[in-house]
Amino acid sequence: MTATLLPQELIRLKRDGVSLPAREIQAFVQGIADDRISDAQIGAFSMAVFLNGMNHEEIVALTTATRDSGQVMQWDALNLPGPIIDKHSTGGVGDLVSLVLGPWVAACGAFVPMISGRGLGHTGGTLDKLESIPGYNPYPTPARFGEVVKTTGVAIIGQTGNLAPADKRLYGVRDVTATVESIPLITASILGKKLASGLDALVMDVKVGSGAFMPTPEKSRELAKSIATVATQAGTPTTALLTDMSQPLAPCAGNAVEINETLALLRGERPHSRVMQITRELAVEMLMAGKLVANREEALTKLEKTLTSGAAAEAFARMVRELGGPADFMEHSDSYLATAPVIQAIYPEQSGIIQRIDNRAVGMSVVELGGGRLRNDARIDHRVGFSEIAEVGERVDNQRPLAVVHACSEDAAAQATGQLRAAVTLGEAAATAETLLQDTFRGDA
């Protein structure tokens, strides 16, 4: 559809707080994808939205326009005998949920074409973790992606250039124009990519706490509600869970160390851990959204069966194998995952009970160790990070360390030790962790 407004006129209207018609938003976004809109105009539009916001109809229009700016995946030709469901998280520290959740839900009969990203800021990236596995290819051809989803039930890959290309340009400009923290723009960015995957349903994990993407609990809540309602109105039934990220979700943070933890969880070794509790809640929502179960109790039974039988672990192993990783990775992961040359326990300078953890500081320490990127072109050191991280409410002393650091050198280990000690507040009062699942938003509510 041809726009009736020049780009500068559309920007002027939004600058002055005027609501934009859906057709004008559609044309502007397509212009971004086609390179007809300049970076300067994208920046001006983003700032206008950042300052003046968008109403609900505008956000739906921006989301669907972003989704439709490139390829929207079609699964009908594969005749999949189950629902196509996915999950997305706003990210955090020790958040390896996707690595367990995708195979687990696939083992229950769903098909999970999960398109994930790399680390951003202090948050770890699912693709960076998977690339700890030698040979794993997160960028298969579209045909191969479909084959793996059909035969394995799950494939976790990176975003290709054909999916939501407008978002790639829009996000790049937002990142350098101080307009990232906008609920309408974040909603459209997340959902534009996810809905282009051709899903039957989506479950969203929105984090709250010191390691969350959003700066305040109120903003996290607002984002969760926006995503659930906008995605559902855009045609993909969506539920958003508001979950705690005030301390590392898993007892580790890094890349290879999180893959190790993933394998332990899939083997059923830590069924009651914090990360497994959240993963289970998300899995329940996915099974119910896909109508694979009638209720929560049936979902929990199905999930327990596939975990204890080894079916979830086998789905992960097949995915790794089909995407180029070792055929015996599940059985011999120690032979394939690189280990850091320096591995040391970090003991507190004085004993005490952990009262609080600055989770963002923990994530940034992993980045500085080399487990994340300080520049876009930096190489990841998959070996580094923290393991055996103590939780809020746990006593640490000369027997129970704060964590174990995995570093490339003694100097790097010493720096990370100081950073982790500074990130942890100790005391003698009993302390309780924040509630893991804080709220649920259903788009059809």
Q: Which of 63, 90, 116, 126 is catalytic?
A: 126
Q: Which of 68, 86, 95, 128 is catalytic?
A: 86
Residue 123 has pLDDT above 90, yes or no: no
pLDDT for 10: 96
28: confidence class by pLDDT, cuts 50, 70, 90: very high
CA of residue 290 relative to chain centroid, distance? 20
387 catalytic residue (yes or no):
no
pLDDT for 2: 52
348's CB contacts (< 8 A; 6+ apart) are 396, 397, 401, 402, 421, 424, 426
Residue 1 has pLDDT above 50, yes or no: no
**Mean per-residue pLDDT of the chain:** 93
Residue 273 has pLDDT above 70, yes or no: yes
Upper half-sphere CA count for residue 92 (Cβ side, 13 Å): 33
Q: Which of 64, 116, 152, 189 is catalytic?
A: 189
Quickly count: other Cβ atoms within 10 Å of residue 428's Cβ. 10
207 catalytic residue (yes or no):
no
Q: Which of 171, 168, 227 is nearest to 202 (CA)?
A: 227
Instruction: Give just the sign of the alpha carbon dihedral 125, 269, 277, 286.
Output: positive
Q: Which of 193, 302, 318, 383 is catalytic?
A: 193
Which tokens belong to 439?
Answer: 């709220």
Pairing assessment for the beta strands 238-244 and 201-208 based on DSSP bridges: parallel
Residue 235 has pLDDT above 80, yes or no: yes
177 catalytic residue (yes or no):
no
Residue 432 has pLDDT above 70, yes or no: yes
Residue 435 has pLDDT above 70, yes or no: yes
Q: What is the pTM of this model?
A: 0.92
Ranges assigned E (strand) in 90-153: 112-116
Q: Coil, strand or helix: which one is 412?
A: helix
pLDDT, average across residues 21-42: 96
Instruction: Write down the architecture of domain 76-159+196-332 according to CATH.
Output: 3-Layer(aba) Sandwich (3.40)
pLDDT, average across residues 167-188: 88
308 catalytic residue (yes or no):
no
Residue 424 has pLDDT above 80, yes or no: yes
190's CB contacts (< 8 A; 6+ apart) are 88, 90, 204, 227
Residue 246 has pLDDT above 70, yes or no: yes
CA distance 289 to 70: 26
pLDDT for 172: 82
Q: Which of 63, 67, 68, 87 is catalytic?
A: 87
Instruction: Give the DSSP H or E segment for 86.
Output: strand 85-89
In the chain, where the domains are located: 76-159+196-332, 338-427
Q: Which of 194, 221, 302, 321 is catalytic?
A: 194
Phi-psi region of 205 (alpha: psi -120 to 50; beta: other; left: phi over 0): beta
CA of residue 337 relative to chain centroid, distance? 22
pLDDT for 405: 98
CATH number of 338-427: 3.90.1170.30
Looking up tokens 């407008």, which residue turns up? 166
* 87: β partners: 203
* 406: β partners: 343, 385
Q: Which of 174, 280, 360, 383 is catalytic?
A: 174
304's CB contacts (< 8 A; 6+ apart) are none
pLDDT, average across residues 109-123: 81
69 catalytic residue (yes or no):
no
pLDDT more than 90, % of the chain: 83
161: confidence class by pLDDT, cuts 50, 70, 90: low
Residue 377 has pLDDT above 70, yes or no: no
Q: Which of 46, 66, 69, 89 is catalytic?
A: 89
87 catalytic residue (yes or no):
yes
pLDDT for 376: 59
pLDDT digits (tens, 9 = 90+) for 277-330: 999 999 999 999 999 999 999 999 999 999 999 999 999 999 999 999 999 999
pLDDT digits (tens, 9 = 90+) for 82-104: 999 999 998 889 999 999 999 99
Q: Which of 88, 118, 207, 302 is catalytic?
A: 88
Alpha helices (runs of H) in 2-85, residue ranges in sequence order: 7-15, 22-33, 39-52, 56-67
Residue 231 has pLDDT above 60, yes or no: yes
23 catalytic residue (yes or no):
no
Instruction: Give the DSSP H or E segment for 104.
Output: helix 97-106
Residue 20 has pLDDT above 90, yes or no: yes
